Amino acid sequence: MMGKHDYCTNVSVITPEILEDVEIFGQYTSFYREFGKLIDVIFNKK
């Protein structure tokens, strides 16, 4: 019960910044995932 309460207060304090970071991180990871696929295609053709 105590841990859950602490978790909720921590989330409420940092939510906006965390959401922004997660969104940016998600965009970068999806970009690198697509970039990795492109690299794989290029190398597999050789």
Per-residue pLDDT reduced to its tens digit, 18-43: 778 888 888 888 888 999 899 888 88
pTM of the model as a whole: 0.39
Q: What is the pLDDT of residue 7?
A: 52
User: H or E segment at 46?
Assistant: none
**CB-based contacts of 18, cutoff 8 Å, min separation 6:** 11
Q: Is 39 exposed, middle or buried (0-12, 13-18, 19+ CB in 10 A)?
A: exposed
Residue whose token pair is 């190398």: 43
